[in-house]
Structure 1
Amino acid sequence: MFRRILIAIAMIATAPALAQVPAYPSSFKVQDIKANGIAQHVRVGGSGPAVVLIHGYGETGDMWAPLAADLARDHLVIVPDLRGMGLSQRPAGGYDKKTQGQDIAALLDALKVQKADIVGHDIGNMVAYAFVAQYPQRTTRLVLMDAPLPGVGPWEEILKNPLLWHFRFGGPDMERLVAGRERIYLDRFWNEFSADPKNFDEASRQHYAALYALPGAMHAGFAQFAAFDQDAIDNHAFLAAGKLAMPVLAIGGEKSFGTTMATVMGFAASNVQGAVIPGAGHWVMEEQPAITVKTVRAFLDQKR
């Protein structure tokens, strides 16, 4: 109990010092919502058809500010921090993406939202797919950005890429290695997965490194990767039930997954459009925000 209190105090004390990078519009409401048994930190703004933006590793929901600001003109925009990440609660378990898909469903229930467009990046792709596969009737369109899905399509080949050694990096010894060195560890991702590391700016690096240095944050981050084997099992079951029918946009950074994103999603969905963000590596929202926002907006607007 005492440790939980210390963690809560640390999170509360640290949060005000962390400026949004970049800032969300002041019209967005930031709140903690109890859903699926955990407190989910969420930003909500705008009105109209709902859209959920799901972040990945090395970032939090703060990454989506430019896209959220654009979509809020005519959408209800919902941006959570995933369980264990950012300022959401860090439970002992539940880091498989099937459970986190249920987190999204419970959050929508709490907000009284029945259907939404779903947009994911990185691990957010995996949570987005797990949500959509479990609740296809609650999804109108799906956008996935620059990360594979465990067990889907060329997953085993993708795992052989030496750049992805961190998929198997975790456990208490690894946590001890990175304790107090979170920025060093995260810089590796921001540098190696960028087309140009300068495009992941210093303010953003400081912002996210401080969040990942909060008590339990790196443990929860490692747990996201440790769940990949279970995620692959769950995804095989989802695939056995049939391909997704709703329109899907698969976005890859030119210097990262590129057209491979559409190839991956072709194994999981029957109506897939592909897009490549020129001049971008993995961090498409930081490296090429304007074209990424334009690409997502054009796809979501097709339903009108």
Structure 2
Amino acid sequence: MLFALAALLLTVPAVAQVEPFPRSFHTEMIDTNGVKLHVRVGGTGPAVVLLHGYGETGDMWAPLAADLARDHRVIVPDLRGMGLSSRPAGGYDKKTQGVDIAGMLDVLKVEKTDLITHDIGNMVGYAFAAQYPQRVTKFVLMDAPVPGVGPWEEILKNPLLWHFRFGGPDMERLVAGRERIYLDRFWNEFSADPKKFSEASRVHYAKLYAQKGAMHAGFAQFAAFDQDAIDNKVFLEKGKLTMPVLAIGGAKSFGSTMATVMKFAATNVEEGVIPDSGHWLMEEQPAATVRMVRSFLDKK
């Protein structure tokens, strides 16, 4: 049944949901590190892994995946607990999820990969790159901070990030049946223009986050931030990342702050800013974002 649902998500027309992945992609359920990851795979060539963030799933990457599949093997998982991946009781610290990604690549027999990440995907991606730096050739991070890195404590003071500390025994009961209302806050408040985050996408993601245990797993991603900050400081003590890094921010969101953050964690950082975009780069300015990523990956 899970495979049938996964296939449906890849083939239903865009008018019914988010933009579909090319039909040449297939899906796999990959067992690794105590979790089953739902993974989309397509294209041939050097590997590239795309990691999504909160409020979305790997489905967000369809436009970029279609472009990169022309000359890359594109690998797009749903993170632990999110989308169609399984929801284990624990392991939502990003260090553990970095091991998830390494195990997924082992199953796919991929030794080295480019890495493209957004939002919580940045945090998982950094934990993966810090633990397995020899496996990451280039690293693109989009519009979200990394716990414990650079101005993390100052960033936490931003009232728009109230959800980082949203918790307590009633949080799931408050949101149950109101997932769309909760998620609309992020899609609206973090957009330069909320209309760019389409109604079809909102319906699609709200249904996925309304699945049993999905909001619990999502909250667990945020609850792990304190541990993530501790783990990341240990990674930093061992040295900065040395692979080429592109830090992209939406002009009306993190902007150049993304590069500021990553210069604390990497030695070779290029800054990128997408005009007329908030946080949701792939929804608000997909063409400009694809062009910037493609230019960086193609650079010798």
**Shorter-chain-normalised TM-score: which range?**
over 0.9
Please name the residue that 1:180 is paired with.
Answer: 177
Given that 1:171 and 1:222 are in contact with CA atoms closer than 8 Å, whether structure 2 keeps it comes out as no
Q: In 1, distance between residues paired with 2:3 and 2:51?
A: 23
Q: What letter matches 1:194 in structure 2?
A: S
Report the Cα offset of residue 12 of structure 1. Answer: 7.2
Match of 2:198 among 195, 198, 201: 201
Q: How does 1:186-265 map to 2 (within 5 A)?
A: 186-265=183-262
Q: 1:147 aligns with which of 144, 147, 158?
A: 144
- CA deviations on 1:229-248 (whole Å, 9 max, x unpaired) are 00000000010001110000
Provide the secondary structure at the position in 2 that maps to 1:53.
strand
Aligned 8 A contact 2:7 2:27 in 1: no
Select between 168-177 and 284-293 the one with higher mean Cα deviation.
168-177
> How far, CA to CA, are the matches of 2:27 and 2:193 in structure 1?
32
Aligned to 1:274: 271
Kindly provide the CA deviation profile for residues 90-135 of structure 1, in whole angstroms up to 9, marking residues without a partner as x: 0000000000000000000000000000110000000000000000
| Cα shift at 1:170 | 2.6
Q: Secondary structure, in 3 states, of the residue corresponding to 2:170?
A: helix
Tell me if the contact between 1:55 and 1:63 (Cα under 8 Å) persists in the aligned partners: yes
- Equivalent in the alignment of 2:35: 38
Deviation at 1:159, TM superposition (A): 0.3
Cα distance in structure 2, aligned partners of 1:139 and 1:59: 24
Bigger mean CA deviation after superposition, 229-238 or 13-22: 13-22
Name the residue aligned to 1:21. Answer: 18
User: 2:156 & 2:144 partners in 1: Cα distance?
Assistant: 12
Return the alpha-carbon distance in structure 2 between the equivalents of residues 190 and 37 of structure 1. Answer: 31
Q: Does the CA-based 8 Å contact 1:170-1:223 persist in structure 2?
A: no
Q: Is the 8 A contact 2:6 2:27 kept in 1?
A: no
Distance 1:206 1:60 in 2: 13
Query: Structure 2 vs 1, CA of residues 213 and 16 (structure 1 numbering), >3 Å: closer, same or farther?
Result: farther
How far apart are the structure 1 equivalents of 2:119 and 2:259? 14
Tell me how far 1:274 sits from its aligned partner: 0.4
In structure 1, what is the Cα distance between the partners aligned to 2:169 and 2:203?
24
> What is the distance in 2 between the residues matched to 1:273 and 1:55?
21
Amino acid at match of 1:262: A
C-alpha distance in 2, partners of 1:131/1:241?
14
Q: Which residue does the alignment assign to 2:112? A: 115
Q: 1:301 to 1:108 in 2, by over 3 A?
A: same
1:206-254 superposed Cα distances (whole Å, 9 cap, x missing partner): 0000000000000000000000000000000010001110000000000
CA deviations over 1:30-56 (Å, ceiling 9, x no partner): 111111121100000001000000000
Partners in 2 of 1:197 and 1:39 — Cα distance? 33
Alpha-carbon distance in 2 for matches of 1:202, 1:170: 28
Q: Distance in 2 between matches of 1:14 and 1:139?
A: 31
Letter of the 1:152 counterpart: V
Q: How big is the shift at 1:172?
A: 3.4
Any stretches of 5+ residues in structure 1 without a counterpart? Answer: 1-8
**Divergent runs of 4+, >2 A:** 11-20
C-alpha change, 1:204 and 1:245, in structure 2 (3 Å) is same
Secondary structure of the residue aligned to 2:191 is coil
Correspondence 1:74 to 2:71: yes
What one-letter code is carried by the residue in structure 1 that aligns with 2:282?
A: M
- C-alpha separation in 2, matches of 1:216 and 1:231: 22
Deviation at 1:204, TM superposition (A): 0.2
> Match for 2:133 among 136, 151, 170?
136
Q: For 1:247, give the aligned amino acid.
A: P
Aligned length: 294
Name the CA distance, whole Å, in 1 between partners of 2:34 and 2:220. Answer: 18
1:56 and 2:56 matched: no
Q: Please give the residue correspondences for 1:286-297 in structure 2 after superposition, counting only pairs within 5 Å.
A: 286-297=283-294
Q: How far did residue 15 of structure 1 move?
A: 5.7
Other-structure match for 1:5: none
C-alpha displacement of 1:16: 6.6
In structure 2, runs of 5+ residues without a counterpart are none
